[in-house]
């Protein structure tokens, strides 16, 4: 499973002009399932994201997790994280899970996140989405868990 985390002051996702998910301070997580992914990978990703210490403590050190600060989590599907540009200038996406599997894994990430964290919002799988965010720091962290 591939994810890209962005620590944000605020973020929202818009589909067809309507805001479908938004958070204040917290994390925006872009997620891409790979063909070998299942429930185990989804759980490992969620647990890592919720416990990753990337928020500042009182001394200004990145020492607090999303759960420690009570921030929001906005989860958005993003199959383009699996882009392969090694063969030319047009990306290939064969490294991403097929749509049905990708949807199932995205829904698993959402379910597991909501079971473990009180403020989880989401985009719409497969939709043309517009993301609005203010990256805090900036802090952007790529994750690849297999």
Annotated domain spans of the chain: 2-134
pLDDT higher than 90, residue 129: yes
* Residue 24 and residue 140 in contact, taking contact as beta carbons nearer than 8 Å: no
- Please name the fold of domain 2-134: 3.50.80
| Arithmetic mean of pLDDT, 61-75 | 98
| pLDDT tens-digit map of 18-65 | 999 999 999 999 999 999 999 999 999 999 999 999 999 999 999 999
Which one of the listed residues 19, 80, 93, 140 is annotated catalytic?
Answer: 80
Catalytic-residue membership of 79: yes
- pLDDT band per the 50, 70, 90 thresholds, residue 145: confident
Quote the mean pLDDT of the chain: 97
| Arithmetic mean of pLDDT, 71-86 | 96
Q: Containing H/E element for 141?
A: strand 129-144
Q: Pick from 143, 124, 137: which is nearest to 16 by CA? A: 124
Q: Classify residue 146 as exposed, middle or buried by CB count within 10 Å of its CB (0-12, 13-18, 19+).
A: exposed
Q: How far apart are CA 115 and CA 113, in angstroms?
A: 5
Which one of the listed residues 79, 105, 121, 125 is annotated catalytic?
Answer: 79
| pLDDT tens-digit map of 88-124 | 899 999 999 999 999 999 999 999 999 999 999 999 9
Which one of the listed residues 6, 41, 78, 105 is annotated catalytic?
Answer: 78
pLDDT higher than 80, residue 146: no
pLDDT value at residue 118: 97
């Amino acid at each position: 499973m591939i994810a890209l985390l962005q620590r944000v002051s605020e973020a929202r996702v818009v589909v067809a002009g309507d805001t479908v998910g938004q958070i204040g301070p917290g994390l925006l997580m872009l997620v891409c399932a790979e063909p070998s992914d299942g429930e185990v990978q989804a759980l490992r990703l969620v647990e890592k994201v919720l416990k990753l210490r990337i928020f500042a403590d009182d001394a200004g050190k990145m020492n607090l997790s999303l759960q420690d600060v009570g921030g929001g989590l906005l989860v958005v599907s993003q199959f383009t994280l699996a882009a392969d540009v090694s063969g030319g200038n047009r990306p290939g996406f064969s490294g991403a899970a097929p749509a049905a599997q990708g949807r199932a894994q995205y829904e698993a990430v959402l379910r597991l996140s909501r079971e473990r964290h009180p403020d989880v919002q989401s985009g719409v799988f497969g939709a043309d989405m517009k993301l609005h965010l203010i990256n805090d720091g900036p802090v952007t962290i790529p994750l690849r868990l297999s």
